[in-house]
């Protein structure tokens, strides 16, 4: 099979959106969101009950505490992902560069305006597609983000065929 070349450039917006999608693939983040909405609902119901049926013997501040705790849980993951993604993108010039990925039977080469890099297929930890981004994980938390917006369907199918033909002993979700 011949070499497949993909030119990719990530924008800040693409990077943030991809990190949102990746973070909500994790069960813990989904559970935090569900728990937050549950607290919002219960806290709101308690506050509404306190307004309709005031009880001077009981403090109504606990209902507001539950509500605002739920709000904090709901907002925690998106706010954390947004600001950490923005910080990582702005502080890493390599992520912002236009990169050329050369996929061959033997290895994967990455070329940017300020660097050249390469690694063997067997050094990959996981390969995953999340919407229009292909992630080549080199470890549990380190991945190359390849924006597939400018990749033709033919090239993507050739790349998919190459990846599947490698019979890698890793998780592959395309």
DSSP secondary structure, 77-122, as one string? HHHHHHHHHHHHHHH-HHHHS-EEEEE-SSEEEEE-SS-EEEEEGG
- Give the per-residue pLDDT at 60: 64
Residues of the chain with pLDDT > 90, as a percent, come to 38
> In sequence order, what E strands does 24-86 have?
none
* Stretch 146-160: mean pLDDT: 89
163 has pLDDT over 70: yes
**Residue-wise pLDDT tens digits, 6-63:** 999 989 999 999 999 989 888 999 999 999 999 999 998 988 888 888 777 666 678 8
* Stretch 92-110: mean pLDDT: 90
- Give the per-residue pLDDT at 1: 59
- Residue 155 DSSP one-character state: H
- Residue 123 DSSP one-character state: G
**Residue-wise pLDDT tens digits, 119-146:** 888 888 999 998 889 999 988 888 889 9
- Give the per-residue pLDDT at 115: 87
pTM: 0.79
- Give the per-residue pLDDT at 123: 87
CA distances from 63 to 21, 88, 95 (A): 32, 38, 45
* Stretch 82-88: mean pLDDT: 95
User: Confidence class of residue 64 from pLDDT cuts 50, 70 and 90?
Assistant: confident
- Give the per-residue pLDDT at 41: 94
* Residues belonging to the chain: 174
State the DSSP H helix or E strand holding residue 74, giving kind and residue range, or none if neither.
helix 61-91
């Amino acid at each position: 099979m011949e070499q497949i070349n993909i030119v990719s450039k990530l924008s800040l917006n693409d990077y943030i959106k991809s990190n949102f999608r990746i973070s909500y693939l994790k069960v813990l983040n989904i559970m935090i969101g569900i728990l937050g909405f549950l607290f919002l609902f219960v806290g709101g119901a308690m506050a509404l009950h306190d307004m309709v049926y005031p009880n001077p013997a009981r403090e109504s501040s606990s209902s507001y505490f539950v509500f605002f705790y739920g709000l904090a849980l709901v907002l925690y993951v998106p706010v954390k992902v947004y600001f950490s993604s923005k910080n990582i993108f702005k502080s890493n010039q390599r992520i912002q560069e236009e990169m050329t990925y050369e996929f061959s039977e033997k290895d994967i080469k990455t070329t940017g305006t300020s660097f050249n890099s390469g690694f063997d297929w067997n050094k990959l930890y996981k390969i995953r597609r999340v919407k229009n981004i292909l992630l080549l994980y080199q470890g549990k938390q380190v991945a190359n983000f390849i924006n597939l917006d400018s990749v033709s369907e033919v090239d993507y199918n050739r790349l998919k065929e190459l990846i599947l033909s490698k019979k890698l002993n890793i998780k592959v979700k395309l």
